[in-house]
Amino acid sequence: MNNFTFYSPTEFVFGRSTESKVGELCKKHGASRVLIVYGGGSVVRSGLLERVKKALAAAGIAFEEMGGVQPNPIDSKVREGIEIARKFKPDFLLPVGGGSVIDTAKAMAVGYYYEGDFWDFYAKKATAVKALPMGVVLTIPAAGSEGSGNSVITNTQSHVKVGIRYPMILRPKFAVMNPELTMTLPQWQTASGVSDMMAHILERYLSNTPDVQIGDRLAEGMLLAIMECAERVMDNPEDYEARANIMWSATVAHNDTCSIGREEDWNSHAMEHEISAEYDVTHGAGLAVIFPAFLQYGAKHNPHKIAQLGHRVFGIVDSGDESIDAMATAIALKTWFHEKLHLPVTFGQLGIPDPDLELLNERLHRLKGEVLQGYMELDATATMEIYKLAL
């Protein structure tokens, strides 16, 4: 196991009706002026936004709001948010929604104190040292941004979708997580969220660091739990217990618990981000297309952990040949995504019958370098092969 530092200071407040506590939580964490950030309107339609505002008013907290954050959030909205914030002068941000809303708030949080353009942090031209603190009211289990120090934004001019990672200043102070709020999710979003959280676990599982049993066993147990509960939710969207298990899994999948002491991969995510940056597809659905293709390529080039995954999670019987078992694992995951979650598993099913793979691949390597490091070393020929396996 490698040396590690694990810092996860978020206060998680989980369960039915917990959004009613948001006023007192803001106060407890030092807020007196709160800027609420939300998305395209689901929180208005569900009445959640009204309940949040009531809770803030009852705690004597002044607030302003900014709605309209879109999925695959974009740079111009962040700039708009920073402008609103500089006028209102909040001491706390409160994203109410999913990864897109939280990530926009995180970008605003670092941009608020910076004299230049916030994109400098994403372009790695500047390092953020200060951020507005924030709390979160989560409405979709998927990206895990409520417990992570990351934010992913798309630059609409350059079509670059990239992340920043500042766990010391960007992890939310608190996250309110009520599984009941996720019952209004369309099936597509629930399924895409499940695919994303599974990918977050697998990006950490696919590691060449030997002997990190704790990380492997946590990952395998979580994958089994997520798959069982996801099937239950697909059958009965109002199954509270299954929703609750999935919601907490999404957080733990991405708050670094599973990555302690090991190298991580993240190349499937990098490949997917090129797809959602260019074609504006749902991130988790894009991953359901890329991940099985990545595993299929891995079956030939580094099958060990993929075969182990198959043996321990997908019920693949040990044939004595890791490559064969890894290929069976790739197929099992692909089949499960498609049959149980009704997700696309090819570019065509994702609604992109004729993707410009040259463009995606060229942008990928321009951003990430000639050879992507990780579980496997991937040059442009390798990543192109993976993209083609997803056709």
- Give the residues lining the site for ligand NZQ (CB under 6 A): 39-43, 71-73, 97-101, 103, 139-140, 142-145, 148, 150-152, 181-182, 184-185, 189, 193, 196, 254, 269, 283-284
103 binds Zn ion, rule: CB under 5 A = no
Residue 193 touches which of ligand NZQ, Zn ion, none (CB < 5 to 8 A by kind)?
A: ligand NZQ
Name the one range near Zn ion by CB under 5 A: 101-109, 175-183, 189-197, 339-347. 189-197
**Is the Cβ of residue 200 or residue 365 nearer to ligand NZQ in the bound state?**
200
**Is the Cβ of residue 69 or residue 132 nearer to Zn ion in the bound state?**
69
Cα 299–Cα 302–Cα 308 angle in degrees, nearest 5:
75
Question: What is the rounded distance in angstroms from the CA atom of residue 26 to the CA atom of residue 57?
Answer: 11
Which residues, in sequence order, are bridge partners of residue 74? 154
Give, rounded to a whole angstrom, the gap between the first and last alpha carbons of the chain: 37
**Is the Cβ of residue 71 or residue 90 nearer to Zn ion in the bound state?**
71
**Is the Cβ of residue 145 or residue 361 nearer to ligand NZQ in the bound state?**
145
Buried b / exposed e over 255-282, threshold 16 CB at 10 Å, is bbbbbbebebbbbbbbbbbbbbbbbebb
Residue type for position 248: W
Residue 103 touches which of Zn ion, ligand NZQ, none (CB < 5 to 8 A by kind)?
A: ligand NZQ
**Is the Cβ of residue 67 or residue 167 nearer to Zn ion in the bound state?**
167
**Is the Cβ of residue 75 or residue 196 nearer to Zn ion in the bound state?**
196
- Report in angstroms how near the CB of residue 317 gets to ligand NZQ at its nearest: 32
Q: Are strands 160-165 and 150-155 parallel, antiparallel or unpaired?
A: antiparallel
DSSP letters for 267-323: HHHHHHHHHHHHH---HHHHHHHHHHHHHHHHHHH--HHHHHHHHHHS-----S-HH
- Report in angstroms how near the CB of residue 162 gets to ligand NZQ at its nearest: 10
Q: How many CB atoms lie within 10 A of CB 376?
A: 18
Residue 151 touches which of ligand NZQ, Zn ion, none (CB < 5 to 8 A by kind)?
A: ligand NZQ
**Is the Cβ of residue 107 or residue 378 nearer to ligand NZQ in the bound state?**
107
- With CB under 5 A as the contact rule, the residue among 75, 103, 196, 264 that binds Zn ion is 196
- Report in angstroms how near the CB of residue 143 gets to Zn ion at its nearest: 6
Question: What is the rounded distance in angstroms from the CA atom of residue 162 to the CA atom of residue 166?
Answer: 14
**Paired tokens of 290:** 């890329």
264 binds Zn ion, rule: CB under 5 A = no
- Report in angstroms how near the CB of residue 140 gets to Zn ion at its nearest: 12
Residue 140 touches which of ligand NZQ, Zn ion, none (CB < 5 to 8 A by kind)?
A: ligand NZQ
Angstrom CA distances, 80 to 68, 73, 363, stand at: 11, 12, 27
- Report in angstroms how near the CB of residue 278 gets to ligand NZQ at its nearest: 13
**Is the Cβ of residue 143 or residue 226 nearer to ligand NZQ in the bound state?**
143
Question: What is the rounded distance in angstroms from the CA atom of residue 226 to the CA atom of residue 246?
Answer: 6
Residue 142 touches which of ligand NZQ, Zn ion, none (CB < 5 to 8 A by kind)?
A: ligand NZQ
Answer whether 252's CB lies under 8 Å from 222's CB: yes
Residue 243 touches which of ligand NZQ, Zn ion, none (CB < 5 to 8 A by kind)?
A: none
- Report in angstroms how near the CB of residue 272 gets to Zn ion at its nearest: 7
- Report in angstroms how near the CB of residue 250 gets to Zn ion at its nearest: 10
Question: What is the rounded distance in angstroms from the CA atom of residue 113 to the CA atom of residue 128?
Answer: 9
Closest CA to 195 of 214, 171, 223: 223
- Report in angstroms how near the CB of residue 343 gets to Zn ion at its nearest: 14
Name the one range near Zn ion by CB under 5 A: 87-95, 114-122, 190-198, 302-310. 190-198
**Is the Cβ of residue 196 or residue 325 nearer to Zn ion in the bound state?**
196
Element (H, E) at 153: strand 150-155
Applying CB under 5 A, the site for Zn ion has a residue count of: 1
265 binds Zn ion, rule: CB under 5 A = no
Question: What is the rounded distance in angstroms from the CA atom of residue 227 to the CA atom of residue 114?
Answer: 42
Give the CB-nearest residue to Zn ion: 196
Closest CA to 110 of 88, 93, 97, 95: 93
> Which residues are near Zn ion by CB under 5 A?
196
